[in-house]
């Protein structure tokens, strides 16, 4: 059962975070942090289907994570979900067309190993 | 450093700090407030009204909002490793606040995460993809 939850979490997190990056990149840089401007940005973003889809996917991932924690230890849950770093960095390169230099791959790899060591 | 890239870097660091702190404390309060098990589907909803859980959820909403703001200018492949410094804060908070022991293996993990964060945040700019002010493909 816990592997089903892991599968749901990894898929939903990856899809959610890539959609979020896609939607926000399409929206453009947020420069004005006054409350009125933030309110206007929220109304614009509520009609951005990438952003709406990302929130739905991240909610699915959140509830699946709560469910996972009832059947598995945190020390199993955290490293098992760290696989999303690999998937998302690959998608950042091929879907979001970011310039993922070897420095970033190195950084992401160090973080993945570190997360595994900290939580195992 | 070019004034525009200095401005972007400073803004990126402030926003990344907000992303990390809201995530770490949001999860901390959520775990503190959660009951041992959620037996029925309605329990997933009613649990949200416990004080510590709702504080955690509010902080996680702040996390979502600040992460969205950060991603409006910074690359995902930059944000991912840089915000993972949160794992280090969780381990250190466990040591300081809950008096947990940090094993040698954990210290090594903390060191690797910090090295990864330092490498990406120090040696790469937050934004390498073309921004909306440039024609598509200008820097491909």
Cβ under 8 Å to B: A residues 6-65: 17-18, 20-21, 24-25, 27-30, 33, 45, 51, 55, 58, 62-63
**Eight-state DSSP code of residue B48:** G
Q: How far is A88 from chain B (nearest CA, A)?
A: 8
Tokens, residue B118? 């330092």
Q: Is B98 exposed, middle or buried (0-12, 13-18, 19+ CB in 10 A)?
A: exposed
Tokens, residue B12? 């990126």
**Eight-state DSSP code of residue B138:** T
Residue-wise burial string across A8-36, b where 16 or more C-beta atoms lie within 10 A, e elsewhere? bbbbbbbbbbbbbbbbbbebebbeeeeee
Q: What pLDDT is stored for residue A1 in this prediction?
A: 82
- Could you tell me which residue, B73 or B90, shows the higher pLDDT? B73
Chain A residue numbers with beta carbons less than 8 Å from the beta carbon of B108 are 114, 117
Given B76, B132, B139, which is nearest A96 (Cβ)? Answer: B76
**Eight-state DSSP code of residue B2:** -
- Between chains, do B116 and A114 touch, taking CB under 8 Å as contact? yes
Q: Is A46 exposed, middle or buried (0-12, 13-18, 19+ CB in 10 A)?
A: exposed
Check: CB of residue B76 under 8 Å from CB of residue A18.
yes
Check: CB of residue B37 under 8 Å from CB of residue B92.
no
Check: CB of residue B19 under 8 Å from CB of residue B67.
yes
| pLDDT category of residue B93 using cuts at 50, 70 and 90 | confident
Residue B109 has pLDDT above 80, yes or no: yes
Rounded distance between C-alpha atoms, residue A87 and residue A89, angstroms:
6
Model pTM score: 0.83
Residue B14 has pLDDT above 70, yes or no: yes
Residue with tokens 């996972």: A68
Kindly state the average pLDDT of the residues A6-15: 95
Closest listed residue to residue B52, CA positions, set B29, B35, B77, B28: B29
Residue B140 has pLDDT above 50, yes or no: no
Mutation target among B36, B76, B117, B125 for the A interface, most CBs of A within 10 A: B76
Kindly state the percentage of chain A with pLDDT values over 70.
100
First to last CA, chain B: 23
Rounded distance between C-alpha atoms, residue A59 and residue A54, angstroms:
9
Residue A57 has pLDDT above 80, yes or no: yes
Residue A111 has pLDDT above 70, yes or no: yes
Kindly state the average pLDDT of the residues B59-84: 92
| pLDDT category of residue A52 using cuts at 50, 70 and 90 | very high
Kindly state the average pLDDT of the residues B23-31: 86
Chain A residue numbers with beta carbons less than 8 Å from the beta carbon of B77 are 88-89, 92-93, 96, 98, 100, 104, 108
Closest listed residue to residue A79, CA positions, set B29, B84, B102, B118: B84
| Residues, chain B | 140
């Amino acid at each position: 059962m816990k592997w089903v939850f892991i599968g749901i979490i990894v898929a939903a997190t990856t899809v959610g975070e890539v959609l979020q990056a896609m939607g926000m990149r399409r929206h453009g840089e947020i420069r004005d942090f006054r409350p009125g401007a933030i309110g206007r940005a929220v109304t614009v973003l509520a009609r951005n289907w990438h952003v709406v889809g990302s929130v739905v996917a991240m909610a699915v991932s959140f509830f699946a994570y709560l469910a996972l924690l009832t059947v598995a230890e945190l020390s199993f849950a955290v490293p098992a979900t760290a696989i999303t770093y690999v998937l998302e960095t690959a998608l950042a390169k091929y879907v979001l067309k970011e310039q993922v230099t070897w420095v970033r791959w190195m950084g992401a790899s160090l973080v993945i190993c570190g997360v595994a060591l900290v939580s195992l | 450093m070019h004034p525009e890239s200095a401005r972007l870097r400073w803004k990126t660091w402030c926003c990344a700090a907000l992303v990390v702190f809201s995530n770490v404390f949001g999860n901390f309060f959520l775990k503190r407030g959660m009951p041992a098990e959620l037996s029925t589907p309605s329990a997933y909803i009613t649990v949200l009204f416990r004080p510590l859980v709702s504080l955690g959820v509010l902080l996680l909403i702040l996390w979502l909002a600040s992460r969205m703001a950060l991603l409006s200018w910074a690359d995902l492949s930059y944000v991912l490793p840089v915000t993972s410094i949160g794992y280090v804060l969780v381990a250190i908070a466990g040591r300081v606040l809950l008096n947990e022991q940090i094993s040698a293996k954990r210290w090594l993990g903390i060191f690797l995460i910090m090295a990864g964060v330092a490498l990406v945040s120090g040696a790469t700019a937050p934004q390498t993809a073309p921004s909306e002010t440039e024609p598509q493909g200008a820097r491909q």
